[in-house]
Structures are given as structure tokens and as C-alpha cells.
Chains A and B, each alone.
Chain A
Amino acid sequence: DKLLVVPQDGSHWLSMKEIVEHLSERGHDIMVLVPEVNLLLGESKYYRRKIFSVTYSLEELQTRFRTFGNNHFLPGASLMGPLREYRNNMIVVDMFFSNCQSLLKDSATLSFLRENKFDALFTDPAMPCGVILAEYLNLPSVYLFRGFPCSLEHMLGQSPSPVSYVPRFYTKFSDHMTFPQRLANFIVNILENYLYYCLYSKYEIIASDLLKRDVSLPSLHQNSLWLLRYDFVFEYPRPVMPNMIFLGGINCKKKGKLTQEFEAYVNASGEHGIVVFSLGSMVSEIPEKKAMEIAEALGRIPQTVLWRYTGTRPSNLAKNTILVKWLPQNDLLGHPKTRAFITHSGSHGIYEGICNGVPMVMMPLFGDQMDNAKRMETRGAGVTLNVLEMTADDLENALKTVINNKSYKENIMRLSSLHKDRPIEPLDLAVFWVEYVMRHKGAPHLRPAAHDLTWYQYHSLDVIGFLLAIVLTVVFIVFKCCAYGCRKCFGGKGRVKKSHKSKTH
């Protein structure tokens, strides 16, 4: 069968790529729609690429990503944090929008896609270009999504999300909230709608242009399946819908053998073992002062530290710390000598930590990372540091805590065993559901009827209003009748009194 893939560049592509490769191995004909300027969407033997032109250069792309990465280390008031993060995200998000704009105006590419009769479309709906394209090409679609931003899957998928125990993104709350936290969560929930509007309203304009009708973006999401890159070992339990499939840990493959280089590092570490340190593929540099603080802390622990870092080498780097440009993260985490994992707590890294049962020291930087870190912290499987405020001592203490305090290892091992105990592997599940959509041309029988209701109908407000009206009418009539009855009974007296009064006047 023929599958059109509309990916999201950057780390999001990492797990989608794996599903795509697996589908290709199963004999499906796969075409990936790729902007000519991109980071990770390279050539592959597993799929063909359809390239469309964009208005920016590779240099601009790289600059934007570098600025985006570096900005997270800028000091600033925490109150302005959300606004700054929003502006910072827009550096990258604006570029994705322009790339969508280019695509939807590229009539040659569009007609090429129309002529190729695809069976389904597979996309990451964080940026809804693929969603619009699926509507335009009239294809059933499958989404692969982390849930960020805005918990789109719940917002657009009609799953109830009580603000009382479902924490919103950016709040860093757990599922047990105090009253002030619930208050804040309530307000953030309202702001989330505004964020949705800010991020996506302009897509409605280009979608309306393309489809030649007024488009409301949420209506385009109604018939899809959501493949979600989390599970309930990591996420707090909450209501979900039948068209949501949970694939947490899809990126933890069986660990491979280490290369000689890394094998040598690990073996040389002795009884203390190693610590793996990576801030992910999106962060290439750390400000010098911060890097030196980190290097100092790393020098104070007995473990060997393998630090994936592409920036300038800190001058005070200790002997036990080895800088590498790249490291086989999952394979290293799977090694029995690994004692801890210092991570920016992106969802991929977190799941590799859970999979391999390695306690974590987390330095969240942006996006869902703070919330990911909070989830691991509440489960006692890691320690979170504020990367801007932390000192060398903080990092040293955090590392010593997760390495020496047995409870961290126990908790992460418990999570690991729960996570890995599943009836079917997430990768197989993902492949199954993509094929399912291709076979059955979507999954309309999983679409809840809630989509056809207005918000007041959904909450039965019209019915409640109607019942209230009846009750009030009955009460009113009964009251009037009683009043009338009273007047009848005591009427004579009353009138007598009145006339009496008027006389005396």
C-alpha cells in the first residue's frame, strides 16, 4: 500500500522514522514529504522523498535552531518565563509555518501528490500541515504525537480532562494538586485555548485558501487515529478515547553492542561505573560559565562521565569526564555499569532511562521537558535541577543522591518493569494501526458522537436549563396557588383590616 508521510523536522522525526522504516520493511511503498532545507530528514533506502522548496536557506535554519537552543540559558525573571519561551519557540515555529505555506502554494507538488493515489497519510500534528494536506487529498490519516503543545489529542479528540487532577503543560504540577495549584491549573487551561489560537489560527487561513472554504482546524482532526508517544507509567492516569493508541517507549530498541571506543571507556571506569550525560540533539552549546560549573561538578564524582557535547571544551574539565560528539545513548544506558543519566528530559531520553532502569538527574530546558522531569521526580526516579540557577554543588549533590540512595534505583527499576510488561510491543502496535487505517480507509467507527454536539449540548446545559425552567415554573405555580388559597381563606379578615385602616385615617 502507498503511504504519504508528512514529518516534523527535528527530534520528533526520530521515532516516526523508526515506524516508517518498519512499515517499509513490511512492503509498503512510502513517500516522505521533505522541505529542501532540513535538519534530519535525510535520504534512506526505506523510502522515497518528495522534496519541495522553501523560502529560507540552510544557514538560516541552523542559525534559528542554534538561537533557539542557546536562548534557554539566558538568565531572566521567571515571571516572564512563559512569554519568553513562547517567543523563543516562535523562532522555530514561524519557520515551520513558512515551510507549510510554501508547500500548500506549490501547485506542482500538490498535483504530484494528487496523482499519486495514496492509501493514507501519516503525520505529526504538532504543526498541522499534514492535517490540512490529508483533507485536501481526501486521505485517511494517522497522527504520531507526544501530546505537546496544548494536549491537542485531548483538546481536539473530545476526551474529558478535568482540570482538578489533569495537570496542564508548563505548570510542573503532578496529579495531586493543592488548592492554589488547582487554581493555577484552571487558569492555565483557559490560557491554553489562547495559546492554541496563537499557534494555529494562521493555519486556518492557509487551509481555507487551499480548500476554498471556511475551515475550522479542529474539524479536520475528527476522523484520525492518534498514536501517542507516552504511556501510563510515565503519564498520570486520565480519561482517554478509543481512537488513542499509547506507544510510550517506542524508541527503546533492544540495546546493541557498544563500539570498541565506548566499550573501552566503560571498562576503564572500574567499580564506580559511568554516568551518561546528554542534553539532546537540539542543544549544541552551553554558555561558558555554566559549562565550567557543570564540568566542576562532574569532576567531583568518582564515576567516569561520558558527556555528549559539541561546544567548546570547558577549561576545567576533570580527568574523569570524556567529551564526545555523539554517543550511543540507548546502548550505554543499557550497560550494567551505568549508574546515572544526566538528561534534558526530552521524552525520548526519559523513555530510554525508564527502559533501561537508570536513575536520572534532569535539567529540563524547554517544551514538555519540565513536565517530564516532574513526572519522574514524583515517582522518585530522579532529581530535577533548574539549569539556570543550579551551582556545581547542586549538580554534585544530585548526582551523589541518585547514585548512592538506593531508592532511586529501586523506583526506576519498578517503573521499568511496569513499562516493559505489555501485551504487545509499541513499534508493532504503531505499525498495526497505520496499516489498519490503510486497510479500512480510516477508523470512522472510533469517532465519538461528541464531535456533533455544541459545547452547551455536550455539557447538557440545554437540558439542565430546560429542567430548571420546569422546576421553577412548577414552584412558581404552586406558590401562586398557595398564595391565592391563603388569600381566599384569610381574605375576609385582610379586607376588613384594610378598610378599617382607611377609616381610621
Chain B
Amino acid sequence: GRLLVVPMDGSHWFTMQTVVEKLLHKGHEVVVVVPEVSWQLTKPLNFVVKTYAVSHTQEDLNREFKIFIDAQWKSQQEGGILPLLDSPAKGFFELLFSHCRSLFNDKKLVEYLKQTSFDAVFLDPFDVCGLTVAKYFSLPSVVFSRGIFCHYLEDAAQCPSPPSYIPRMLLKFTDTMTFKERTRNLLAYMGERAFCHKFFKSAADIASEVLQTPVTMTDLFSPVSIWLLRTDFVLEFPRPVMPNVIYIGGINCHQGKPLSKEFEAYVNASGEHGIVVFSLGSMVSEIPEKKAMEIAEALGRIPQTVLWRYTGTRPSNLAKNTILVKWLPQNDLLGHPKTRAFITHSGSHGIYEGICNGVPMVMMPLFGDQMDNAKRMETRGAGVTLNVLEMTADDLENALKTVINNKSYKENIMRLSSLHKDRPIEPLDLAVFWVEYVMRHKGAPHLRPAAHDLTWYQYHSLDVIGFLLAIVLTVVFIVFKCCAYGCRKCFGGKGRVKKSHKSKTH
């Protein structure tokens, strides 16, 4: 079949790419639509790539992202998704959302896409454009994402999430909440419903413009046939799901390959203490100098050899046991038996590589879902979370020594690892299956819940409850009236007598 892919830039693309490559390998025709300015998407790919011109430059993109990242090193948001509305991320998101206008301004590209009859769209909804494309060309769609912002999974997949035990995104709560936490969770949920549309306003505006009819984010999300979510219930808390929501967590962990000579040498030289792998992910290139020195100091105090992926300036106090590298084979290193711990920003890819390979983690979440990921691993006793802004060298040293020397961390992560890897089908195969399924059957309408056809008060049966209440009240009223009438009849004489008597005495 023919598949149209609308990806998202950055680390999001890494796993989506493996799915696309597998689909290509299975003989499907794949066309990927990408902006000409990007980080990861411009790398040579072995399938048809259609680029479109955008109104900003690579520098603009880097600058906006740097503003966002730098802000994370100054202060981190608290309290759910709402602060995001007015955060330094705003400019970056506006840039992303604007891609869609650029795409549809490219008339030649749109005409080409219209002429090519695709069977389905495979998309990352982060920049919303994939959803707009699917709606514009009336194609069934498969969403591929770590999670869905705001309440759009609840609204568009009709997936219930009782705020009493399902923590909202970015709140760092677990599934067991105190009364205070449940109150904040409910308020956050109400806040999402009230304000999220503002955050996505320009994306929805562009979509409305393109589709020439006003649409909301829910309108854009609700035709989605299959939701592939990059998580599973070893990381995520158990919660209600819908039949068309498929969990493919750990799709990025592959069998570790043998290390290159360089890294093999590092690992072998580490002796009995083994190594620690340290990476803050592909999106963070620099750490403020003071923080980097603190980190370097802590790393120098442990007996393990530390392999630190870092592209910034070398901290002056770097100890002998710490080796700076521009890049490291993260999954392969984590799979090595000599690896004792993993220092990570707890992005979902890194977390799953840690789970897969059973390596206890020290987590320094920076933005997005990272705080929540860290919280989940912490509650399961598989890692220690540090606040990257407040931590001192001592904190990091203690955290590392704890996860390395306290056996329970290793045991817990090994238990999670064995649960995670024990599955009837590999997540990559599952993802490929469902994309092909949607292509074969032109969507999955039989998995679409009838809840879509109800208004909110019908969904919650408020009309039925109101009707029943009205009946009950009417009956109570009639019974009361009858009783009152009966009473008057029985004791009526007396009453009237009394009354007249009274009036006489007056």
C-alpha cells in the first residue's frame, strides 16, 4: 500500500523512523513530508522525502529551542500543563505550528499529495499538522506518540480518565494521591479543559484556514483510527483504555550490538567497579558552567568510570574517571554487564532503554514528560530523581552511590525489565501491524465508540437522571398534595371550627 508520513522533528523521529523503515522493508510505498529546515529530518533517508519551504531558518529554530532549554536551567515549571501556556516554550511551539501553513502554501506539493492516492497517514501529532493533513485529504490516520497533550485523548478517543487516580500530565503525581493532590489533579484537569485550546490556538487557526471551516483540536483529533502510544503499564499506571489505543512502549530497545573498539576499551579499563553511563539526551547540548562543574565534581567522587555524552565546553574540574564523548552507543552500553548506573534526563526513550537493559537510574528531568517519567520510576524503586536546578555535588554523589550500592534498586529494575520484556509480540511488530491494518481496512470504524455521537450531558446520562428526578419529584409532590388534601378532609371540620371560633372571639 501507499503510506503518507507526517513526522515530528527531534528525538520523536528516532522511533517513528524504525517503524517507517520496517514498513518500507515490507514493501509499502512511503512518502515522508518534512520541512526543509529541521534537525533530524533532513538526514539522508532511504525513502521518498518531500520537502516544503518554511518561513524561518535553521538559526530561528535553534534559537527558539535554546530559549526554551535555557529557561529550564533557570527555573522549572510546576503544576501541570497550564504554565506551559505562557512559558518560554510558546515561541518554539508557534514555530512548529507554522509549518502547517508552509506545507499547504506549497501548491505543488499539495497537488502531488492529492494525486497520489494514499491508503493512510502515519503521523506524530505533536505539531498538529499531521492531523490537519489527514483531515484535508480525508485519509484514515494512525497517531504515533509518547502521550497526548491536555485532555485530547479523553475527548477524541473517548477514553475516560477519572482524575481521582489518573494523574494529569506534568504534575509529578502517582496513581495513589492524597486528598490535596486529588484536588490539584482535578483542578488541573478542569484547567486543561478550560485553557488548552488557547495553547493550540494558532494550530487550530491554521487548520481552520486550510480546511476552510472552523475546527477545534478535538475535531482534528477525533477521526484518528488507531492511537499508538509509546508507553506500557510497566512505566505507566494502569488506567482505562479504549480498544483502538495500542501501547508500544519499549519499541526503541533493540538487542545490544557489540561495542566499538573505543567504547570496549573504556569498559574493559573500568575494572571491577564498572561504568556509569551519563547522557541528557540529544536535545540538550550545553549545561551552564557552574552546574557542569558541580556535576563533574560529583562524578569524580565515585569509583566507577563515567562515560558522559556532552557536547558543551569541558568542565575544568573534570576528574580522571570521567570521559567526555560527543556521542555514545547508549543502548549497547546499557546492555553491557559492567554498567552499574545510568544518569539520564528521563526522556521516554532513555527510560525504556534503562528498563530494557535493567540498569538503575539517577534521573535529572528537564522538561516535558520527563518529570512524570522520573516519578514513575522512582515510585517503583528503580531510580532516584534529582532536581537539576537545586542539586549539589553531594546530592548527585549520594544518589549515584545509593542506586549502585543499594541492591533493591537493581532488583526492582530487573523485575520491571523482566515484566516489560515478557510480551506476546514485539512492540515494533505491533506498531507495524496496526499501521498496515488501517491501510488494509481503510481505517478502523468498528473500533470507534458510539460515545462520539453523544453530547456531554447525554454521555453522562444527565438527561436521563434529570428525567428520573423530575418523575420522582412529581410523584413526591402529588403524594404530598394528596396527603395534605386528605388531612384537610379528615380534620377539616375541626380546623374550620377553630378558625371561626377564633374570629368570633376577636
Chain A positions near chain B (C-beta within 8 angstroms): 158-160, 162-165, 174-176, 179, 182-183, 186, 232-233, 236-243, 246, 417-418, 421, 423-424, 428-429, 432-433, 436, 439-440, 445-450, 452-453, 457-460, 462-464, 466-467
Q: Bound complex: CA of A229 vs CA of B177, how far in Å?
A: 34
- Whether the Cβ atoms of B459 and A460 lie closer than 8 Å is no
- Whether the Cβ atoms of B458 and A186 lie closer than 8 Å is no
Tally of A-B Cβ pairs under 8 angstroms: 154
Chain B positions near chain A (C-beta within 8 angstroms): 158-160, 162-165, 175-176, 179, 182-183, 186-187, 233-234, 237-244, 247, 418-419, 422, 424-425, 429-430, 433-434, 437, 440-441, 446-451, 453-454, 458-461, 463-465, 467-468
CB distance from A455 to the nearest CB of B (A): 10
- Whether the Cβ atoms of B164 and A460 lie closer than 8 Å is yes
Q: Bound complex: CA of A453 vs CA of B165, how far in Å?
A: 8
- Whether the Cβ atoms of B458 and A449 lie closer than 8 Å is no
- Whether the Cβ atoms of A186 and B164 lie closer than 8 Å is no
Return 21 A-B CB contacts under 8 Å, by A number: A159-B240, A160-B240, A162-B160, A164-B458, A179-B463, A182-B461, A183-B464, A183-B467, A237-B244, A237-B447, A239-B159, A240-B240, A240-B242, A417-B441, A418-B446, A423-B434, A452-B165, A457-B182, A460-B163, A464-B186, A466-B179
CB distance from A91 to the nearest CB of B (A): 34
The residues of B that contact A175 with a CB separation of less than 8 Å are 449-450
Residue from the set A243, A462, A463 with the largest chain B CB neighbour count within 10 Å: A463
Additional A-B contacts beyond A182-B461, A243-B238 (11; CB < 8 A)? A160-B240, A163-B461, A163-B464, A164-B459, A165-B454, A440-B419, A446-B233, A448-B175, A452-B176, A460-B182, A466-B183
Q: Bound complex: CA of A240 vs CA of B447, how far in Å?
A: 12
The residues of A that contact B430 with a CB separation of less than 8 Å are 423
Q: Bound complex: CA of A158 vs CA of B419, how far in Å?
A: 22
- Whether the Cβ atoms of B162 and A450 lie closer than 8 Å is yes
- Whether the Cβ atoms of A463 and B182 lie closer than 8 Å is yes
Given contacts A162-B461, A176-B450, A457-B182, contact A421 B165 (CB under 8 A): no
Given contacts A182-B458, A237-B447, A446-B238, contact A421 B437 (CB under 8 A): yes
Q: Bound complex: CA of A174 vs CA of B464, how far in Å?
A: 17
CB distance from B284 to the nearest CB of A (A): 31
Task: Give the residue of B238, B446, B468 whose beta carbon is less than 8 angstroms from that of A233.
Answer: B446
Q: Bound complex: CA of A458 vs CA of B186, how far in Å?
A: 12
- Whether the Cβ atoms of B238 and A449 lie closer than 8 Å is yes
- Whether the Cβ atoms of B450 and A462 lie closer than 8 Å is no
The residues of B that contact A466 with a CB separation of less than 8 Å are 179, 183
Q: Bound complex: CA of A241 vs CA of B239, how far in Å?
A: 6
Given contacts A182-B464, A423-B430, A446-B233, contact A237 B437 (CB under 8 A): no
The residues of B that contact A440 with a CB separation of less than 8 Å are 418-419, 422
- Whether the Cβ atoms of B182 and A232 lie closer than 8 Å is no
CB distance from B176 to the nearest CB of A (A): 5
Q: Bound complex: CA of A165 vs CA of B238, how far in Å?
A: 23
Which residue of A is nearest B458, CB measured?
A: A164
CB distance from B450 to the nearest CB of A (A): 4
Task: Give the residue of A186, A236, A417, A467 whose beta carbon is less than 8 angstroms from that of B461.
Answer: A186
Task: Give the residue of A165, A240, A242 whose beta carbon is less than 8 angstroms from that of B450.
Answer: A165
Q: Bound complex: CA of A164 vs CA of B450, how far in Å?
A: 9
Q: Bound complex: CA of A239 vs CA of B460, how far in Å?
A: 14
Which residue of B is nearest A167, CB measured?
A: B450
Q: Bound complex: CA of A116 vs CA of B441, how far in Å?
A: 49
